[in-house]
Structure 1
Amino acid sequence: MDGSVQPDGIDLNYLNMPVEETFFRMLRHREFDAAEMSLSSYVVSLFSEERPFIAIPVFPSRFFRHSSIYVNADAGIRKPGDLVGKRIGTPEYQMTAPVWIRGILSDEYKVPVESVLYMTGGEEEPNRPEKLKLNLPDTIKVERIGPDKTLARMLLDGEIDALHTARAPSTFYDGSGRVVRLFEDYPAVELEYYKRTGIFPIMHCVVIRREVYEQNRWVAQSLFKAFKEAQKKTYQDMHETAAHKTMLPWLSAHVEEARRELGEDFWSYGFNENRETISTFLRYHYEQGLSKQLLTPEDLFAPEALESFVI
């Protein structure tokens, strides 16, 4: 973003904008040559006739999502199994965060995808659409909320029982105590999950418009190298103790804990390092009716970026 890393052979015009805007403009209008992209939306796009994008194994956003399940305090939901039969809001059914949440709830807590009613729409503003057209199995129940409704308010008022989301709802922070997390001690739950599964969920990847890639296949490796170099600089910034680069009072302690628990390369890019995590996500995507067939991780990425070379 600051220009200190330049991809080989590419004059980069970097636009910094919220991910929701980036995704919408790329998916609907293909405005950019390359862009950060929802992993789920990218996988859905692979089943379109045009297959407009191809990805490189760079993952700008990762997030343990146990912390992203919010419930109405009066809904009688005290443990994950209590979600069965409930009304669960989600801004979009195909969003990456809810895909992970539904998969984890099914695998870990016996909450089948088909066991709840999903209600989709805007979280803070009304009328959020699905970015991509979906054709889901009849066993999966999804309904749109009213045109003047928001999921954050519906959760507060008890019109939905729970919410699967990427952004914490405003009503969680309003001081009323009527919206709470399902997993209050979520760091401990998420760390135990990682230690047992080795999965640090991937939210976003980086995609290239397919026509750009087909005309200049070298851009995949060039961008991958640049992102790896930028990541290296970011790791170095996190280790800086003379003056913190991020406004966290115990940043050094957080970084040391991440290295201790997840390893030195705790936010790994690359294919081999993330193959099992991607495979799990693709299984969830298929089980939840979003993929027409079960893809392999190799199906997602430009072959030029699948292997790293050594100098």
Structure 2
Amino acid sequence: MSENHAAPPLTVLLGNYPHTRPLKDGTVPVDGVDCRYPESSPLPPAFARMVRELAYDICEMPTATYLQARDAGIPLTLLPVVLVGSTHHRSLTRLPEDPAISPRDLVGRRVGVRSYGQTTGLWVRGWLQEEYGIKSSDITWVTTEDVHVAQYVNPPYVTRSAAERVGDLLRSRDVSAAVLGPKAIGGQGAGLVPLVADAEDAGKAWAERHATIPANHLLVVRDDVLRDRPDAVLALYRALKQAIEDTADQRDDSPAGRAVAAGWSPSLTACLEVAGRYALEQDLIGEPVDVAAIERETAFLDT
């Protein structure tokens, strides 16, 4: 089925990265499809609009938000694209002037995180349990924002602060440590230090152990758009895949550089399996994640 020239534009919400700019500036065209690329700065409010209002046809989406949306029955389908990813042992931070503490010292303490459903928090809590035996319920998680998925209710060990930023929680001594995502590390988290002294090596060891790199941002499409305009979705996916390949020389060999990819692969499957297990352990979702079923929904994209 070919795309109808009279079809409405495809609204595609993407962050601004080297691998998305070729679509936005037309360097890599989306064959036969008129695409519009609305902007959202910052990005998180757009994620909430997508899961609460189905505001876009195709949308960048954090891994944890996608898993929670799927668990809640929101009609979205995962497209096999990793737009942002990295390891996260460096994401658990403290003030440099405070006494050094180990992750094990966090049991019974308060830790700041933007939202309990934030994907960086998902990965940090995952390795805390896996490597240190610390369950999510062993810590009080102090948040500054709500989760994106409106149907979700935070566990009792999550509390909301009036502070606007996670870094403020740490600097006011309201929390003992703070979880900050990759962008926040270089912004409000400037000068903070990781609790894990050898964070980079610990992150690399995690990636080697699981044969994947944690994905922070994936891509989803509304179910009705995938059903009614599969050729348009395929064209967008192929163009984005091409842009990712064309910009490979702009990414280094770090975990963040290697995470960006398009297409179903053993690495993406492993990533979703680990993320799904972590999400279930952390009470972010209520049912196990069937990764094979997720893959079957868009296997046609890579045929």
Q: Please indicate the TM-score interval, normalised by the length of the shorter structure.
A: 0.7 to 0.9
Q: 2:278 aligns with which of 257, 270, 284?
A: 284
Are 2:168 and 1:144 equivalent residues in the alignment?
no
1:225 — aligned with what?
238
C-alpha separation in 2, matches of 1:84 and 1:225: 46
> Is 2:214–2:259's contact at 8 Å kept on the other side of the alignment?
no
> In the superposition, relative to structure 1, how do residues 143 and 137 fare at CA in structure 2: closer, same or farther (>3 Å)?
closer
Are 2:147 and 1:130 equivalent residues in the alignment?
yes
> Is 1:100–1:284's contact at 8 Å kept on the other side of the alignment?
yes
2:265 — aligned with what?
272
1:180 — aligned with what?
193
- The amino acid across from 1:200 in the alignment is I
In the TM superposition, residue 117 of structure 1 has moved relative to its aligned partner by 0.4
1:308 — aligned with what?
302
In the TM superposition, residue 74 of structure 1 has moved relative to its aligned partner by 6.4
2:37 — aligned with what?
14
In the TM superposition, residue 171 of structure 1 has moved relative to its aligned partner by 5.4
In the TM superposition, residue 265 of structure 1 has moved relative to its aligned partner by 6.5
C-alpha separation in 2, matches of 1:35 and 1:115: 34
* Alignment deviations for residues 80-108 of structure 1 (CA, whole Å, 9 cap, x no partner): 21121110111110111100110011111
1:78 — aligned with what?
101
C-alpha separation in 2, matches of 1:132 and 1:42: 9
1:216 — aligned with what?
229
What SS does the aligned partner of 1:204 have? Answer: strand
In the TM superposition, residue 2 of structure 1 has moved relative to its aligned partner by 1.7
- The amino acid across from 1:164 in the alignment is V
What SS does the aligned partner of 1:61 have? Answer: strand
C-alpha separation in 1, matches of 2:25 and 2:236: 16
> In the superposition, relative to structure 1, how do residues 78 and 299 fare at CA in structure 2: closer, same or farther (>3 Å)?
same
> In the superposition, relative to structure 1, how do residues 38 and 210 fare at CA in structure 2: closer, same or farther (>3 Å)?
same
2:69 — aligned with what?
45
> Is 1:6–1:12's contact at 8 Å kept on the other side of the alignment?
no
C-alpha separation in 1, matches of 2:290 and 2:229: 25
1:154 — aligned with what?
169
> Is 1:224–1:305's contact at 8 Å kept on the other side of the alignment?
no
> Is 2:116–2:143's contact at 8 Å kept on the other side of the alignment?
yes
> Is 1:89–1:164's contact at 8 Å kept on the other side of the alignment?
yes
2:79 — aligned with what?
56
C-alpha separation in 2, matches of 1:300 and 1:279: 11
> In the superposition, relative to structure 1, how do residues 136 and 145 fare at CA in structure 2: closer, same or farther (>3 Å)?
closer
> Is 2:85–2:259's contact at 8 Å kept on the other side of the alignment?
no
CA RMSD of aligned residues (A): 2.6
Are 2:288 and 1:294 equivalent residues in the alignment?
yes
> Is 2:84–2:260's contact at 8 Å kept on the other side of the alignment?
no
In the TM superposition, residue 73 of structure 1 has moved relative to its aligned partner by 4.7
- The amino acid across from 1:109 in the alignment is Y
In the TM superposition, residue 22 of structure 1 has moved relative to its aligned partner by 2.5
Q: Which range is displaced more, 63-72 or 283-292?
A: 63-72
TM-score, normalization: structure 1? 0.79
> Is 2:111–2:141's contact at 8 Å kept on the other side of the alignment?
yes
The alignment-based identity, stated in percent, is 23
> In the superposition, relative to structure 1, how do residues 76 and 299 fare at CA in structure 2: closer, same or farther (>3 Å)?
farther
* Alignment deviations for residues 52-102 of structure 1 (CA, whole Å, 9 cap, x no partner): 311101110112111111124566552221121110111110111100110
Q: Please identify which structure carries the higher strand content.
A: 2
In the TM superposition, residue 223 of structure 1 has moved relative to its aligned partner by 2.6
Unmatched 5+ stretches in structure 1:
122-127, 239-253
> Is 1:54–1:302's contact at 8 Å kept on the other side of the alignment?
no
* Alignment deviations for residues 101-128 of structure 1 (CA, whole Å, 9 cap, x no partner): 100111112111111001111xxxxxx3
1:241 — aligned with what?
none
* Alignment deviations for residues 195-243 of structure 1 (CA, whole Å, 9 cap, x no partner): 33322101111111122112123334333222211111111x43xxxxx
What SS does the aligned partner of 1:58 have? Answer: strand
